[in-house]
A and B are shown apart, each in its own frame.
Chain A
Amino acid sequence: SQQGEEDPQALSIQEGENATMNCSYKTSINNLQWYRQNSGRGLVHLILIRSNEREKHSGRLRVTLDTSKKSSSLLITASRAADTASYFCATSQYGSGNTGKLIFGQGTTLQVKP
Chain B
Amino acid sequence: DGGITQSPKYLFRKEGQNVTLSCEQNLNHDAMYWYRQDPGQGLRLIYYSQIVNDFQKGDIAEGYSVSREKKESFPLTVTSAQKNPTAFYLCASRLGNGETQYFGPGTRLLVL
Contacts and interface: CB of A to CB of B under 8 A. Distances in A.
Interface of A: 1-2, 4, 9, 30-31, 33, 35, 40-45, 48, 88, 90, 92, 98-107
Given A1-B59, A99-B48, A100-B94, A45 B105 contact: no
B106 interface: yes
B52 to A, nearest CB: 16
Given A100-B48, A100-B99, A102-B101, 20 more contacts: A4-B42, A9-B40, A31-B99, A33-B99, A33-B100, A43-B90, A44-B103, A45-B102, A48-B99, A88-B43, A98-B97, A99-B48, A99-B50, A100-B98, A101-B33, A101-B58, A104-B35, A104-B42, A107-B40, A107-B41
A41 B90 CA distance: 9
Nearest to B35: A104
A100 B48 CA distance: 9
**6 tightest A-B contacts by CB?**
A42-B103, A104-B42, A104-B43, A43-B103, A106-B42, A45-B100
Contacts, number: 69
Contacts of B40: 9, 106-107
A45 B94 CA distance: 12
Nearest to A45: B100
Interface in B27-48: 31, 33, 35, 40-45, 48
A101 B90 CA distance: 14
Interface string B87-112: 01010101001111111111010000
Interface of B: 4, 31, 33, 35, 40-45, 48, 50, 56, 58-59, 88, 90, 92, 94, 97-106, 108
A108 to B, nearest CB: 11
Given A4-B42, A107-B42, A41 B98 contact: no
A105 B54 CA distance: 27
Contacts of A99: 31, 48, 50, 56
A12 to B, nearest CB: 16
A48 B56 CA distance: 25
20 contacts: A1-B59, A4-B42, A42-B90, A42-B104, A42-B106, A43-B90, A43-B101, A43-B103, A44-B103, A48-B99, A88-B43, A98-B50, A98-B97, A99-B31, A99-B48, A100-B94, A101-B58, A103-B45, A104-B35, A107-B40
